């Protein structure tokens, strides 16, 4: 099977995985609706974080999403920091805790852990732990115990591009859309590995999903009445036109409930990569 080209989902900084990504000025669409494709404004108990930097006259240009997992740590995608053309950590600030990406808590990025991200296709291990320069006043969202069963519902969120052509403005307000956890074979064009999730539109929902600017944003699972993080947005699987977001093609998320869970805990606690992780360590990390 021919390997399809894969587009990462950073706003205005889009390139096939593993290729140089040169910043591209967004072209607003007059007919765009302010929503993640097919979505609605996010529920009040869902929060996110917007990664921003100064770009072409905009001091608060949103280019990737993330999610607070402690008051000093965000969870996001490694490619938002490592692909050519992306800003350096010292250039990035964040807004978190408000559905308006231009409001909420402000902090600067102090350091970023990106583990063993593979820049070449398929860009596996696409997860980052972002340490802030100060604690922010938010209620963090911790990692789900599992991503759930195939066919179950996961909720994508983000401030990314707002129309299926992928050229409209970012959403001003955090958006959400419910997706279906699909068999990995549905994302075989990615390709996809064992530590990733394949999220497909619900049957009959071909215009639903994330778009450029949603990289690093979480997909959430409802566990015991609480939203928890199951994955972070990595890339799409559309094989033909890399600059569109329609067509019902599924998206690939890094699964943060399995292997990557322990690496994330080590990064939050500042442990060595090979250090064993106990239940007490996880509780300490979740407590921030």
Closest alpha carbon to 111 in 128, 135, 98? 128
Domain hosting 226: range is 153-257
Q: What is the pLDDT of residue 212?
A: 73
Residue 8 located in a structural domain = no
User: How confident is the prediction along the chain (288 residues), in pLDDT tens digits per residue?
Assistant: 333 334 556 665 543 333 333 333 333 222 222 236 667 888 899 999 999 999 989 999 999 999 999 999 999 999 999 888 889 999 999 999 999 999 999 999 999 999 888 756 557 899 999 999 999 999 999 999 999 999 999 999 988 876 666 566 777 889 898 989 999 999 988 889 899 999 988 775 566 776 777 889 999 999 999 999 999 999 888 765 456 666 678 889 999 998 899 999 999 999 888 888 999 999 999 887
Question: What 3-state class would DSSP assign to 188?
Answer: coil
Closest alpha carbon to 147 in 74, 218, 67? 218
Structure token digits, residue 45: 């108990």
Q: What is the pLDDT of residue 189?
A: 83
Residue 195 located in a structural domain = yes
Q: What is the pLDDT of residue 214?
A: 84
Cα separation, 52 vs 283, in Å, equals 30
Residue 12 located in a structural domain = no
Closest alpha carbon to 109 in 47, 61, 53? 53
Residue 123 located in a structural domain = yes
Residue 35 located in a structural domain = no
Contact status, residue 175 vs residue 32, Cβ threshold 8 Å: no
Terminal CA-to-CA distance of the chain, rounded, Å? 45
pTM as predicted: 0.85
Q: Looking at the structure, tell me whether residues 72 and 120 fall in a common domain.
A: yes
Q: What is the pLDDT of residue 199?
A: 93
Q: Looking at the structure, tell me whether residues 125 and 182 fall in a common domain.
A: no
- Helices and strands counted in the chain (H then E): 3, 13
Q: Looking at the structure, tell me whether residues 62 and 194 fall in a common domain.
A: no
Residue 284 located in a structural domain = no
Give the Cβ contact number of residue 32 at 10 Å: 18
At CA 287, angle to CA 282 and CA 288, rounded to 5?
A: 100
Q: Looking at the structure, tell me whether residues 130 and 201 fall in a common domain.
A: no
Cα 80 → chain centroid: 9
* 204: CATH: 2.40.10.10
Q: Looking at the structure, tell me whether residues 160 and 103 fall in a common domain.
A: no
Residue 21 located in a structural domain = no
Give the Cβ contact number of residue 82 at 10 Å: 16
Structure token digits, residue 164: 């299926």
In sequence order, the β-bridge partners of residue 129 are 75, 113
Query: What is the number of structural domains in the chain?
Result: 2
Residue 189 located in a structural domain = yes
């Amino acid at each position: 099977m021919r390997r399809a080209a894969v587009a990462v989902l950073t706003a205005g900084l889009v390139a096939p995985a593993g290729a140089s990504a040169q910043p591209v000025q967004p072209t607003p669409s007059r007919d765009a609706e302010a929503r993640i494709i097919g979505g609605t404004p996010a529920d009040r108990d869902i929060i996110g974080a917007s990664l921003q930097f100064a770009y072409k006259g905009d001091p608060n240009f949103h280019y990737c999403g993330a999610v607070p997992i402690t008051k000093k740590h965000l969870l996001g995608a490694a490619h938002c920091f490592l692909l050519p053309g992306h800003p350096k950590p010292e250039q990035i600030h964040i807004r978190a805790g408000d559905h308006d990406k231009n409001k909420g808590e402000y902090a600067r990025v102090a350091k970023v852990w990106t583990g063993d991200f593979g820049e070449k296709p398929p860009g596996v291990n696409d997860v980052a732990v972002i340490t802030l320069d100060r604690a922010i006043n938010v209620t963090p969202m911790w990692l789900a115990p599992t991503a759930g069963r195939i066919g179950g519902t996961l909720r994508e969120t983000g401030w990314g591009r707002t129309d299926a052509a992928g050229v409209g403005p970012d959403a001003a307000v955090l958006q959400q859309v419910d997706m279906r956890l699909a068999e990995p074979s549905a994302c075989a064009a990615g390709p996809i590995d064992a530590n990733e999730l394949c999220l497909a539109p619900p049957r009959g929902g071909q215009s639903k999903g994330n778009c450029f600017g949603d990289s690093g944003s979480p997909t959430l699972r409802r566990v015991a009445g609480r939203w928890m993080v199951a994955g972070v947005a990595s890339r799409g699987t559309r094989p033909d036109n890399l600059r569109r977001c329609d067509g019902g093609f599924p998206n690939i998320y890094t699964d943060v409930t399995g292997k990557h869970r322990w690496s994330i805990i080590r990064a939050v606690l500042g442990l060595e990569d090979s250090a064993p992780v106990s239940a007490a360590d996880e509780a300490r990390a979740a407590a921030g």
